[in-house]
Every structure is written in C-alpha cells, then in structure tokens.
Structure 1
Amino acid sequence: MERASKEIHNQKQFDLYAELGPVRLGPYTSYIWRTDPKHLQFLLSRYLFVSKMLAGKSEALEVGCGDALGTPIVLQTVKKVYALDFEPIVIDAARHCIDPTLNCEFVVQDITEAPFAKKVDAVYSLDCIEHIPPEKSERYFANVAASINNDGIAIIGTPNITANAYASEGSRTCHVNLQSHETLRAALAAHFKNVFIYSMNDGLVHTGFYPMAHYLLGVGVGKKI
C-alpha cells in the first residue's frame, strides 16, 4: 500500500516519482556529482544564461552537448534543440537519460569537420572549444557560424586562460585551447558584426574585469555574409 505524504502539496512529487522513477544521469554528470557536486551549479548557471539569451527561438544547435545535463533548461525557452557531440557513447547515454517527451534531437558529429546539416536560429557551445586542438579552432568557429541563419546568434562559453593557474591537473591536461577575452572576441568578430563578452565566476554572470573571471561567455550577433 502506497504511503501518502503528510503535506498534501508534496503528493504530486511522490506520484510522479512512482510513475517515472528517478531521473537518470549520464556518465559525465554522474562523475561530477560524485567528485565535485558544486560544479554542477556552475554548469547549470551557464545553461540558464543561454536559456535567457535564446528565449523565443524556434531551433537551436548545441555543439558539444555531452550527456545533455543542461539541455532541458534551454528547452524551457527554445522550441527545439539539436544536441550534437562527436563522442558516440555519450550521445547514446544522453538519449537514454533525457526525458523522451522533450523536443531534442541528438546527432553524432564533429563540428570541425563540417557545418550542421541545416541552418538554425542559434548555436550555443559550452565547455567545448578548450578541448579542440588549436589547429582546428578556426574551423570550429567557421562551422558554428555557417550553421546559423544570417540574423542568428552564437554563444560560446569557455574557461578563461587567466584562471588556468588555479585549474586541476585533469583540466590542464584536457584543456588544450584556452581562450582569453581578447582571443574569444577576435574569433567571434571574424564571423559576427557584434560581439559581447561576459565574465563569469562560479554561478554569477557579470561584466567585471575580464582577467579575474574564471569563465568567459562570448555572444556573436549579426553574421558577416
């Protein structure tokens, strides 16, 4: 016999849990939860920024989606998301973890090899560029821009190179293409008429002194044709 919640307003939470079971986490998210759970707050805050910036868009492309931890946040304001990653096993995990009722289509693709198959209203890419070899960096930015409609928007999020002194050994090993606010601005300015750079520390996005920001968010608007 099922037990009822003492507080009536909580019952719907127990009912949904009984119906659908616990939420599944993918390999990347599970690792973070087990080793550094506070980092999930930082990651989710980045997705919240994207969600706010892209509110009302019909279609967006996420480049480097991983196991799609924050994709549902973007889907609260964007009608459809194409979630792309070059790692087949993480895309397979994401497909099994995400709510199947969400309007999300997963794609295995390396963005440095070619643009996305169709043009979308916006592209966002969080914690991706720093993993791409420097010699492929320009192809990354060019193909991101080529995947966007002429009046679209791009959002690129990446750790600040000035924060590398405080990074873990693991981060230093895999972050092979760190950006500064100058290099991120220049890379976006090659493809967009307007570029805005935001600072981020922990979960707070702001316009403070760039060298003291742990994370950078670059926004490109108005594609150069």
Structure 2
Amino acid sequence: MTDLRFDGRVAIVTGAGGGLGREHALLLASRGARVVVNDIGGSMAGEGVDDAPAAAVVEAIRERGGQAVADSHSVATPEGGRDVVRTALDAYDRIDIVVNNAGILRDKPFHEMTPDQLDPVIDVHLKGAFHVTVPAWSVMREQGYGRVVNTTSAAGLLGSARKSGYGAAKAGLLGFTRVLAVEGAAHGIRVNAVAPVAATRMLAGSLADAGIGGANGRPVDPAAL
C-alpha cells in the first residue's frame, strides 16, 4: 500500500510538543508536509510557558529532512488562534491541514468541580479548536481544499469518572466535527475526528490520579492511522 503523501501541503498541529501531537507532526512531515508545530509547553493543567518542546519537535523534523516552524501561541483565545494561523501564512503562505490536538487536564470528581476548573478545559479543547479553525477555514474555502482533524476522546463518547469538564469538551468536539463536515463538503474541505488511546503524559497522569496502572500503546500507533 502506498503511503498517503502531503507534498506541498502545509499543516498546523496544535499541542504538538509531545505525545500524540508530536507524532502527528513527525508523520505529516515525513510524508512531505511543511508543519507548524504549536505548543505553549506548559504543564498538563495548562500552566506555564516553555518554547523548548515545540522547538525540539521542529529540530527533529529538520534532522530528518523535513520542514517545520515552531509556534507557542495559546489556542485558548481568538487572538492566539489567529496568531497560530498567521505563523503558517507568514512561513509558508498557505494552510491545508489543521490537526486540533491541544489539550489540558483538570480532573475532579463532579461534586468538586468549579467554573475555575471547567473553563480552562473548555477554552483549550473546544474553543481552541474553534479559534484555530475559523481563520484557517477562510483560507481553505478560498483555495477549495482543506483537511481538519479534531481529537475527541472515549471520555466524551462513553464517559469516564472525574472528567465532566474534559468529557463535555471532547463530546462538543464531535458535534463541532459533524457540523463542519457538512459545511465543508461543498468547498473541498474534509473534517474528521479521532478518539485515540495511547500511553502519553496526559493519559498516564490521568490514570495515576484515578489509581489505575499505566496504559499500553505508543503515541506513534494511533498517529499512523
């Protein structure tokens, strides 16, 4: 089977400094895409900023002969989303692919959840996908081509303890995906969602909080799908 190629295409991958996002970025670059590696480099709770994770992924791509630029804007605001897209346009003058993968965790039992715990999770997962995709969508419509992949989760599709905010955000992404798939079809834009499971930093921390052992599966496995 011949690998799907993305030669000449430009991809934005959010949350690409590690885990699944990193593998998405590496795979796209290995198949010819020029990649914007977006990551604020913060903690799993979304705190702090560090340029190093995104820069390390860019370096790894370039060492393998690919093309990439780093971006550390937060997707949690409209301005940040526009800035991520601006990074792609300034570097490569087009956008073909958006992988909305950025995420944080603030897990709590539902009876302990507060707006301060809920809002940042919705801002990054659900609104973050909106903030990046809106400006990219205009470019994709004009050029008559686009691909959007949103990262949802079994926590939103099936439910999971301590994840009322995360699950709500991830279920919202599924609805977001379905609507954009309908609207994008007439403009050459295809929109899909993935619900991967792999032993990432985020999943490991979540399982530890719940008193469960580590997960099997490498981030590269679902990325390759």
TM-score, structure 2 as length reference: 0.50
- Bigger CA radius of gyration: 1
Structure showing the higher helix proportion among its residues: 2
TM-score, structure 1 as length reference: 0.50
Structure showing the higher strand proportion among its residues: 1
Higher RCO (CA < 8 A, seq sep 6+) = 2
